[in-house]
Structure 1
């Protein structure tokens, strides 16, 4: 522990949520790139609670990853969503987005690196309105998100992900946020709102 920096313990999230995993040296840098307003420093517990209530929470780093949960983030159906994620990756390097909601059946993920979209998938509970980039080896290994919607081929339903699949893909790409309980991190996170 560095003098003056408190240690906090991670609180899990990820179910019925959307979040980013970004490469950033610290929460403040990620919050700056996101353009968060009305910022305040908070503990993990308070930050996750606020994230589920409509705010955005920028966590302290877990390894190379800063996680950003929040119902205040745009979801995969939002106008300009892909451009927003790609723009973040131009400034942060590596950006992943995940979304899951078991009741609506919504599942989504995006991978952007260095200002370029690598992969985007969104199942909205009825169809696949977003299917861009090359299917990744991790999607193939999990058997999810590998086929676009097809009117004449019902086998694509076999590749439709559920909440557990989104979390499994997050684990393969970066961090499954449902498994981080108790991980020690330095300092508080930052909560705020995106400028609209």
Structure 2
């Protein structure tokens, strides 16, 4: 799918959202790997709006990163979630997943590279159903997600992340999508849905 020439301006997202940061040469490659169906060309503004309504938006690259917001992405509690992230990284080289949802307090992230899971964490608002891999230096520096669930331990509660923490981790690993407003990108992205 060719997109022609043009410049679009990035629109921020991140709060109460799920998103990926992947290394891909263009939106079409990322959309192919994701298996996106019912594809349409979309501007940042339109694509981000649809992402919050349950679709998936594969944005034009910002530096080496293609950002993919969408409530249509699997959340960290989904069956086969880790297998899905690892599979993306096997085909794209690097895949990061982030999730924030303040209504329930859920926060999650995952990092996979070259078909190998490096780290995955999910706080569901009450506990930690997902704690895989070695805690990264960035998590340690931010003081978040560094300990598995231990609700009776006050020190554990101090490591429970909030929305701002997920965004701070995204900034350290790749891109904080709340800070991209107005960044010039080449062409439009792609919106669509995942096969479920």
Q: Is this a same-fold pair by TM over 0.5?
A: yes
Aligned position for 1:138: 138
The number of aligned residues is 193
Report the TM-score, using the length of structure 1 for normalisation: 0.97
Report the TM-score, using the length of structure 2 for normalisation: 0.97
SS of residue matched to 2:158 = helix
C-alpha separation between the residues in 2 aligned to 1:151 and 1:67? Answer: 34
Aligned position for 2:183: 183
* Structure 2 residues without counterparts, runs of 5 or longer: none
- Is residue 21–residue 97 contact of structure 2 (8 Å, CA) maintained in 1? yes
C-alpha separation between the residues in 2 aligned to 1:9 and 1:164? Answer: 24
Aligned positions of 1:86-97 closer than 5 A: 86-97=86-97
CA shift at 1:151, angstroms?
A: 5.1
CA shift at 1:155, angstroms?
A: 1.5
> Which ranges of 4 or more aligned residues in structure 1 deviate by more than 6 Å?
none
SS of residue matched to 2:29 = helix
* Structure 1 residues without counterparts, runs of 5 or longer: none
Aligned position for 1:10: 10
- Is residue 19–residue 97 contact of structure 2 (8 Å, CA) maintained in 1? yes
Aligned position for 2:25: 25
**Structural RMSD (CA):** 0.8
- Is residue 51–residue 57 contact of structure 2 (8 Å, CA) maintained in 1? yes
C-alpha separation between the residues in 2 aligned to 1:155 and 1:105? Answer: 18
